[in-house]
Amino acid sequence: MGLLDGKKIVITGVLTDASLAFGVARIALDEGADIVLTGAGRALSLTRRTARKLGQSNGQDIDVFEFDVTVPDQVQSVHDAVASKWGRVDGVLHAIGFAPESCLGDGFMDAPWEDVAVAMHVSTYSLKTLADAFVPLMDQGGSIVGLDFDNQQAWPAYNWMGVAKSALQSLSRYLAKELGPQQIRCNLVAAGPIKTMAAKSIPGFQLFEDTWDGRAPLGWDVQNAEPVARACVALLSDWFPATTGEIVHVDGGYHAVGA
């Protein structure tokens, strides 16, 4: 019996098999879940291609629904599509983030509000947008899990994406408070650095790769996303029924030690 037997799970953020969300999707399938993926814009074709690969390895046809979190009409359309397919949702993975080039790398003070607003909309407010779309289908309770990079301190090059992630943590706590009476949990998994397409877009990401393994008490493999995926699947399951508003660190313990 799998951890997610019979669960209906919506997974965002799958682009290629190097995506963190891909690992979550793969393990969710192995643990008995039914899944759908969402994608948006020019990346939608990538998501569909990866869904076919994922489905072939698990003997399933996996639907991909278009969902751009910045387009209000698509909140209702993806809700309707999932409602038509399943009638309910048990869990949602938030793996959505984007910041314009000016918001990353050098020049923190140079990023204009227009670019910062994009980063906050896509990387932070989108968690609430997912709730708008799928909480009405969680009539038996459920779990929302978001991928995070902890921001108890400022990081080189991460800049406004770091600010957006800090806001994401606050938003997750407020959603936990708001949705708890419906038995819907909202938690984040703060992952250590993993080599993904998203990571490649961050100037200076090599700095994280070079130092993380040496400082993390358990060590850290930037090529291995499975520990992060397992944590997400566990939080999507019924094994954490009284945990909400939490940030679970899957970073080899890096966050717990000083310089």
Q: Where do the domains of the chain lie?
A: 8-256
The DSSP secondary-structure symbol of 182 reads G
Domain 8-256 sits in CATH 3.40.50.720:
yes
Scored b (16 or more CB within 10 A) or e, 104-132 reads bbeebeebeeebbebbbebbbbbbbbbbe
Beta bridge partners of 145: 93, 187
Distance from CA of residue 181 to its chain's centroid?
23
Report the run of H or E that residue 36 belongs to, with start and end: strand 34-39
pLDDT tens, position by position, for the chain (259 residues)? 899 999 999 999 999 999 999 999 999 999 999 999 999 998 999 999 999 989 877 667 899 999 999 999 999 999 999 999 999 999 999 999 999 999 998 889 999 999 999 999 999 999 999 999 999 999 999 999 999 998 888 888 899 999 999 999 999 999 999 999 999 999 999 999 987 666 566 666 676 777 888 899 999 999 899 999 999 999 999 999 999 999 999 999 999 997 6
How far apart CA 118 and CA 125 sit, in angstroms, is: 10
Q: What is the CA radius of gyration of the chain?
A: 17
